[in-house]
Amino acid sequence: MFTTYNDVYLDIRRRLVLEKISMAELEAFEILKSVTGKAREEFVRDKYLHASNDIVRSAARLTERRVAGEPLAYILGEWDFYGITLKVTPDVLIPRSDTEALVDCALRRSNGAFRFLDLGCGSGCVGIALGVMRNSARGVLADISEGALEVAKENVYNNRLSSRISVIRADMTAAPPANLGKFDVLVSNPPYITTDEMKTLDKSVVEFEPKNALWGGDDGLDFYRAICENWLDVLNDGGVLAFECGIAQSSSLEKLLSGFGLKNIQTTRDTSGANRVVSCIKQVELI
């Protein structure tokens, strides 16, 4: 008897089910796809063919990593966001569907060609989605993490956006780099997990995702304050500022933005119905 691709798939799924991992069937297929390179239709075609010992061992190794709590995205080395496949590593947060509301909001509140800044870009998912969806858009991805910047650069290159999107190192808690220029749209998904929430995060998040991209201070608003204090000058008059936030933070963030004189503040829900994005317009008061 020999081991078939279907046998490998069933072994992975069984192991994940025993560990009560949700969507075990989908994750089992993704692990199998990673080690075989076979798309779903190819797997269906070849499911009863012989699987080599190398494939069996590789599948078992990746499965044990998943059972140990490592997120599937880091195991696969890539993840889809806004229909775009992006490289991910433990240097960046895993792009989540909740964040797609930030892209939607920026596109909805901007018109035609625009120049954007994705501040605290991580993998670059938000800025890259803006560049893909609006081919007249040009932008800058900025992060303080050298590891994140390497991932973002690769994702920009892989999506053929190098002519329109640049990647720089910048600290959202400090003044912008000189000669950065002005932007029509500033988007950010900054760290916003509160001190108390950090204690309740799932193991797969707190043990594997970068903590410096999660913790936002005692009330989770430290980085929003810092961006408003340091970065508003790079936004053109009439420009859009859009933030992702935690589901219980939208009211506090609205008040914070209002205190900085920002206008036309709106809160947008994500696909699950949670308040996920707070956006506003930078307006100059006429004297």
Total domains, the chain: 2
pLDDT-derived band at 26 (thresholds 50, 70, 90) equals very high
Does 26 share its domain with 142? no
Is residue 287 situated within a structural domain? Answer: no
Its pTM stands at 0.92
Q: Please check whether residue 169 is in contact with residue 119, taking contact to mean a CB–CB distance below 8 angstroms.
A: no
pLDDT of 226 above 60: yes
CA proximity to 274, closest of 246, 232, 234: 246
Provide mean pLDDT across the span 191-219: 93
CA distances from residue 115 to 137, 140, 185, 275 in whole angstroms, order as listed:
6, 8, 6, 26
Query: pLDDT tens, 73-111?
Result: 999 999 999 999 999 999 999 999 999 999 999 999 998
Is residue 73 situated within a structural domain? Answer: no
Does 270 share its domain with 184? yes
CA proximity to 132, closest of 105, 107, 168: 107
pLDDT of 285 above 80: no
Does 9 share its domain with 102? no
User: Domain holding 111: CATH number?
Assistant: 3.40.50.150
Does 55 share its domain with 197? no
pLDDT of 284 reads: 62
**What is the overall mean pLDDT for the chain?**
95
Query: pLDDT tens, 137-176?
Result: 999 999 999 999 999 999 999 999 999 999 999 999 999 9
